[in-house]
């Protein structure tokens, strides 16, 4: 017997939000192609690059949060959202 992932409501919302972000970014790219620009990072990035950097940073924030604190993950989610928005704007 195989162990399958438990698709709870928060899990479904998480993956649904990622799918909606990818769909939204695809539509945005088709309507208004992005140009590379330099921000705080020492390299030129596109919108997709900045979204990936923000999502990756959010994943690391959640992992560190779980390893270092016993507090609810809602705090890590808030910090991650701020990171993603900052990466999209200034990275």
Residue range(s) defining the domain that contains residue 38:
9-90
In a domain, 1, yes or no: no
pLDDT of residue 70: 87
37-38 and 44-45 as β-strands: parallel, antiparallel, unpaired? antiparallel
- Per-residue pLDDT at 91 exceeds 80: no
Domain count, the chain: 1
Alpha helices by DSSP H, listed for 32-72, are 47-68
Q: Quote the CA–CA distance of 36 and 22 in Å, as a whole number.
A: 18
Q: Identify the residue whose tokens are 């909606």.
A: 20
Whether residue 3 lies inside any domain: the answer is no
The DSSP call for residue 11 is H
Task: Provide the pLDDT for residue 84.
Answer: 86
Give me the mean pLDDT over the 42-49 stretch: 87
Mean per-residue pLDDT, 85-90: 84
Judge whether residue 20 has pLDDT over 90: yes
Whether residue 43 lies inside any domain: the answer is yes
């Amino acid at each position: 017997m195989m162990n399958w992932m438990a698709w709870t409501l928060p899990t479904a919302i998480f993956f649904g939000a990622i799918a909606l972000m990818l769909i939204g970014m695809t539509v945005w790219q088709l309507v208004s192609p992005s140009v590379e620009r330099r921000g705080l990072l020492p390299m030129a990035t596109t919108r997709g690059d900045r979204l990936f950097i923000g999502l990756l940073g959010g994943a690391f924030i959640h992992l560190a949060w779980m390893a270092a604190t016993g507090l609810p993950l809602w705090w890590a989610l808030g910090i991650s959202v701020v990171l993603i928005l900052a990466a999209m704007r200034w990275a």
